[in-house]
Amino acid sequence: MGKSKKLLFGIVGVPPLAVMAELAADGSTIVDLDEPQGKIDLETASPFLPRVYCGILRTVIANSLTIKPDVIYIDTGAGKCDCAVHTATVLEDILPQTTIIRTKNQDSTGFGTPLCKAKMDLVDKMSAITSGVQLITPDDDIQPCSPTAGFWGVPPRDFSLLSFFPDTTHIYGWARCMENKTPDNIEMECHYNPDIPTVFFAQSFCAKTALARHLANKHPYALYLDCDVTAGNSVKAKIQAFLELSGVKV
């Protein structure tokens, strides 16, 4: 790493803790490429990825093309998805000045999941989980609450769909694995609470739609939901109606 220029790092998925610790030790600037960054036009990605493709990985391509990080760590293991494997190949070809480093996060030491169980606005809670990817020490100072609703799935491309849930919503699925820093943990990913109404969410065109729908079918009070880039009226209405008709106080 050169001393004259501070490198800009991009991350996709949850890179292994050792990688994040190294970046933290260097005081590196890190951009989470999975998340929308400012007003970057998603169509920037369209020449390189099909429009009918995971909205998060389209976001990765659009962010990468616009921000042009010096180095991108992209997790391509089972803790992310097959689509990320191919996205890494695309990134290598379209950003020759950027070093693309593929990782396979198989960390198995749990950090705990206090945020997922906390009483907190769900948008803020999910934001804390996604920004927590860059933390290398666990936060134990958060008390759990008794859940009244559940959100199972990945952090959505459009966080606005989380705004309809009560503060007492517990988070399950891959987002919980994310907070635990064990993204390749299928047992934790499949866990849900059958006693609370739960929305099983996946991004449209993501392989996790199969697991989301499968688990929703097993859960006694569940709504399966998929959403592409932005949450339209029907997505929002489904969440609102499901929670209201399930007797959840929002």
Partner 1 sequence: MLLADFGTSYCKLLETDSGEPPTLTPTRDLDRKSIKVDIATGHNGKRYATTYINELTALAKGGLSLIDEPSFTLLDCGSRDIKYVIYEDGKIKDMGWNAECGASMGFTIELLEKYYSIDFANLPIPKSSFSITCGVLGMSHIFDAVVSGESEAEAVAKFVKGIALNAYNFAKHPEKIYLSGGLCDNPLFVGSFPCSVVPLGRFVLLEGLQASSAPSAR
Binding site for partner 1 (CB under 8 A): 221-224, 232-234, 236-238, 240-242, 244-246
Q: What are phi and psi of 106, to 5 degrees?
A: -120, 25
Contact 176, 191 (CB under 8 A): yes
Residue among 207 and 245 whose Cβ is closer to partner 1:
245
Pairing of strands 99-103, 222-227: unpaired
Strand partners, 71: 9, 99
Least distance between partner 1 and beta carbon 150 (Å): 15
Least distance between partner 1 and beta carbon 43 (Å): 19
Choose among 84, 110, 78: nearest CA to 181: 110
Residue among 169 and 180 whose Cβ is closer to partner 1:
169
Residue among 73 and 200 whose Cβ is closer to partner 1:
200
Pull the structure tokens for residue 101: 């480093």
Max CA separation in the chain (angstroms):
60
The helix/strand/coil state of 202 is strand
Least distance between partner 1 and beta carbon 200 (Å): 11
Pull the structure tokens for residue 87: 């996205």
Residue among 144 and 232 whose Cβ is closer to partner 1:
232
* CA pair distance 76, 88, nearest whole angstrom: 8
Least distance between partner 1 and beta carbon 107 (Å): 36
Pull the structure tokens for residue 96: 């020759």
Q: Which helix (H) or strand (E) holds 137?
A: none
Residue among 84 and 225 whose Cβ is closer to partner 1:
225
Residue among 108 and 160 whose Cβ is closer to partner 1:
160
* CA pair distance 165, 239, nearest whole angstrom: 8
Residue among 174 and 224 whose Cβ is closer to partner 1:
224
Distances, alpha carbon 217 to alpha carbons 20, 142, 220, in Å: 37, 32, 8
Pairing of strands 149-152, 99-103: unpaired
